[in-house]
Structure 1
Amino acid sequence: MTTVPAPPIRIGKTAVGALSMLAVATGALESVVTPTLPLLQRELDMSPAEGALLSIVLLVTGALVTPIAGRLGDRYGGKRILIRLMTVVCAGGLVSALAPNLQVLLLGQVLQGAMVGALPLSFILVRKHLPAAESKVAIGVVSGLFVGGGMAGTLSAGPVAEGLSRHWMFALPTIAVIGATLLVNRLMPDDPPGRPDDAGVDWPGLLLLSAALVTLMLALALAPDIIGSQPLMLLALVVVLAALVTGWTAVERRAASPMVDLGLLARPAVWKSCVLTFVICAGTAVAVHLVPQLFAVSADDYGFGAGATEIGFFLLPGAVVASLAGPLSGIGARRFGARAVVCTGGAVMTAALFALAAAHSEVWHLVVGKAMIALANGLCVTALVTGTATAVDPGDTGIATGLVLVTRVIGFAVGVQISGAILTAGTPSGSDVPAESAFVTGFVVAGAVTALSLLVARTLSKGVEE
């Protein structure tokens, strides 16, 4: 006699609220290193190379864990994997908070990198327990609050580290993550496994993907310093990266149960979302890096001479807008479709980047421009994740959204490194202040690339329907 599975339990606002709290807390914990990197370098006596390593290690592990978490969530159940993943994140946060030296802090950051996989697992739970229309809004809320949490962490990390200590900078958001994880465990109903575990974990693909991501991040981190002095080293890294990607592709094609389904990636709804997410996040990262740097340039030159507290205040409107963009995007995607939201967001970001290139002589120019870019990023990324999540089979939700979120992480890393390279190249010899033209170049390059993405966005709806 065949047993008919029970219908999924419909979740209420409290369960979605618990996922939202977890998104805010993990977003804050993810973002505390970047604004306090100079302080960490001083206190832990780090070299610039070690500082670069610290700034990217979470991104590397996050980009690796995300597709794995999505695949395991699809296979074994989203809640089961989410709670285990957040246990690792909480351990990493506590290790980072107690770290006496760089080595222990790096270990904590490696463990914290697992947090990036929490989003696709949250999407699995929302998709299983809510109707399609409501799940779009819920995914938008969770995505937007993750972005808002990241901005909140960026704003608060400096004051906490300076007023209390660097230890509390990690401890406070970790405590919030622990509390939110307990709430999710209590309020979120269990979801049944989506598929049997016939083939196990694709360890060869996992190792090759790990090596490829580490090589990519290492090349991006070292490129500004070695492109002129040691071009052969950079070329060697590119060759190694190409070999690893080729090997990984061959392994995934032959794997019985690949961690990254290349067939799924080849679907227009998925690969177009990945391309657009990469471009949008790279453009956003340029502004995220350049705007605070421009605020900090001395008023005797062409900047404003702002300190850490002032910069945080100037960025506050962007944080507020970023937290609202996700829910707005979910509502817009449900009413007008993902393509309309992405095209609108891309157009707003393009206009804002070109406007910053033309006008950045007043504080309000940068404040408004940065807020518009934060709005556009939230609209685009949330619509792309939402569209991807609802365009694939429910059993593929985790891995499909995981692919999009991996490209988000890589896009941010690439954008930051590109903007850093532009500022380095635009700094006159003997000076530590970049020329104003370097900022203009960065904004123009980001605006031009974002504008080209609109060509892909125009075909997005067709890809989703297919």
Structure 2
Amino acid sequence: MTVPVLAFGGILMAVTQTVVVPLLPDLPRLTGSSAAAVSWMVTATLLSGAVLTPVLGRAGDMYGKRRVLLIALALMTLGSLVCALTSEIAILIAARALQGAAAAVIPLSISILRDELPPERTGSAVAMMSSTLGIGAALGLPLAALIVQYANWHVMFWVTTALSATGLALARWAVRESPVREPGRFDTLGALGLAAGLVCLLLGVSQGGQWGWTSPRILGLFAACAVVLTLWSIQQRRAERPLVDLKLATRPRVALPHVTALLTGFSFYANTLVTAQLVQAPVATGYGLGLSIVATGLCLLPSGVTMLLLSPVSARISTSRGPRVTLAIGAAIIACGYVVRIADSRDLWVIILGATVVSIGTTFAYSALPTLIIRAVPAGQTASANGVNVLMRTVGQAVCSAAVAAVLVHHTSLVGGVSIPTLHGYLLAFAIAGTVALVACAAALAIPAEPASRDAVPTRDRTEATHDKALEGA
């Protein structure tokens, strides 16, 4: 039951991050707060997830992956419960920040799968785990839209609370603690430095459109980010047990998958962002379909189902051709999906087809990334290294959100007295995302080939040997 339980946890993480989206337009009225304050319900989850993913990944490598996984799921459950009990915007934002800790579920689960499963099952299980992010997002949006439309908005958080509590109980029952650990003292200074740098970076990226990209606050945040992360990198290179092993992370077999994760995160996220806005645009625009939020969610549902069905296929390609090839194929398919979107973004069936093609490419790319990381790092650093990879996807999504917003703001027209993005603006966003996908494909092909001895996912013997060596060192 380890694989389905961990996959359920990954889907829950994506669902809890997505369900608030249909609620955003109504939250200012429901909470008596401003739209700017409400936007922090998304920003808080983004920031806490980005900060806690590498930190909890490293803690899992050191103190036990199951233990830290249960902590992440418990924080997600607590955050949902608090959201269900209050209408105060400040408390809601804090609760959403708690839910952000669940972003560490996927890297921790991937590390557990590497340690626990026989090698012939690891590839498909890791592919499934990586795909849960897209599956959960595709399922969460229509579910939340249905609840918001036909029930009190607090019901949505009661549902996620029940689901999260179920996931926590199942994980506690079905997942055993991995024996593979990397002993040592936790790098608290490194964790604080990374947190400060990431907060400055992501806060600047996410709020740049609202505060002004050349405003003193945004420029100050980016300058602070550069200074803090520079000092942090110096500290990490000198630390005996660093939070992130930068010597390992800068090797091409690790660094290039991280770069590709950032680019893939950017290109994938544009699909969800732009599709949702495009199909909801008024019919008077000449291209919009005027769909409700429920219908919009259903348009994205085939993408999630496709990701679920094709994750085993991507694992087979990685086994036969190598994850580097799978990653390159995935990025190329994403670019093809945006070609479809540019060719026709007026007919609903073509829009769904293009979005589904992008999701197919994302499935291949996301399933290959953790496999590349697993093959390139020691067993004792699997969770922390995959945590950094997930972090890079998050940064890519944040940058994509800012880029798409900037493009659409500069390409608008008045429809019924309201400023609405033009079709040209949407097509330009698709072209940018497709170009980034092609760059990701090139980066994937540049990843050095694996040594002959590492052609397969590391075996249980290697894992146990690493564990024995760690015990001898202790």
Whether these two folds match at TM > 0.5 is yes
1:214 is matched with which residue: 196, 199, 207? 199
2:425 is matched with which residue: 411, 434, 438? 438
Hey, what does 1:118 align to over in structure 2?
105
Hey, what does 2:457 align to over in structure 1?
none
Cα distance, 1:293 vs. partner?
0.7
Cα distance, 1:464 vs. partner?
7.5
Cα distance, 1:47 vs. partner?
2.2
Residue segments in structure 1 that go unaligned for 5+ positions in a row: 1-13
Hey, what does 2:312 align to over in structure 1?
327
Cα distance, 1:461 vs. partner?
4.5
Which structure 2 residues correspond to residues 125-164 of structure 1 after superposition, within 5 A? 125-164=112-151
1:410 aligns to 2:428 (yes or no) = no
Point out 4+ residue stretches in structure 1 off by more than 4 angstroms. 463-466
| DSSP 3-state at the match of 2:421 | coil
1:76 aligns to 2:60 (yes or no) = no
Q: Is the 8 A contact 1:264 1:400 kept in 2?
A: no
Cα distance, 1:101 vs. partner?
0.9
Hey, what does 1:196 align to over in structure 2?
183
CA distance in 2, matches of 1:450, 1:46: 38
More moved, 386-395 vs 61-70: 386-395
1:310 aligns to 2:275 (yes or no) = no
Residue type of the alignment partner of 1:341: T
Task: Check 1:41–1:377 CA distance in 2 against 1; reply closer, same or farther (3 A cut).
Answer: farther
More moved, 436-445 vs 31-40: 31-40
CA distance in 1, matches of 2:79, 2:155: 14
Hey, what does 1:276 align to over in structure 2?
260
Give the total of aligned pairs: 450
Cα distance, 1:279 vs. partner?
0.6
| DSSP 3-state at the match of 1:406 | helix
More moved, 77-86 vs 435-444: 77-86
1:295 is matched with which residue: 269, 276, 279? 279
CA distance in 1, matches of 2:158, 2:245: 37
Residue type of the alignment partner of 1:336: R
RMSD: 1.9
Question: Deviation string for 1:148-174 (max 9, x for gaps)?
Answer: 122211221111122222212122122
CA distance in 2, matches of 1:275, 1:463: 18
Hey, what does 1:40 align to over in structure 2?
27
Residue segments in structure 2 that go unaligned for 5+ positions in a row: 455-474
Hey, what does 1:250 align to over in structure 2?
234
Cα distance, 1:44 vs. partner?
1.5
CA distance in 2, matches of 1:217, 1:245: 13
CA distance in 1, matches of 2:339, 2:209: 24
Question: What is the TM-score normalised by the length of structure 1?
Answer: 0.92
Q: Is the 8 A contact 2:328 2:442 kept in 1?
A: no
Q: Is the 8 A contact 1:272 1:460 kept in 2?
A: yes
1:97 aligns to 2:84 (yes or no) = yes
Hey, what does 1:460 align to over in structure 2?
447
Question: What is the TM-score normalised by the length of structure 2?
Answer: 0.90
Cα distance, 1:49 vs. partner?
2.1
Residue type of the alignment partner of 1:42: R
Task: Check 1:234–1:188 CA distance in 2 against 1; reply closer, same or farther (3 A cut).
Answer: closer
2:435 is matched with which residue: 434, 437, 448? 448
Q: Percent identity?
A: 27
Cα distance, 1:122 vs. partner?
0.9
Task: Check 1:325–1:411 CA distance in 2 against 1; reply closer, same or farther (3 A cut).
Answer: farther
| DSSP 3-state at the match of 1:189 | coil
Hey, what does 1:420 align to over in structure 2?
405
Q: Is the 8 A contact 1:44 1:102 kept in 2?
A: yes
Hey, what does 2:8 align to over in structure 1?
21
CA distance in 2, matches of 1:462, 1:357: 34
CA distance in 2, matches of 1:378, 1:294: 23
Cα distance, 1:256 vs. partner?
2.2
CA distance in 2, matches of 1:444, 1:92: 37
Residue type of the alignment partner of 1:113: G
Cα distance, 1:204 vs. partner?
2.1
| DSSP 3-state at the match of 1:196 | coil
CA distance in 2, matches of 1:306, 1:295: 6
1:88 aligns to 2:72 (yes or no) = no
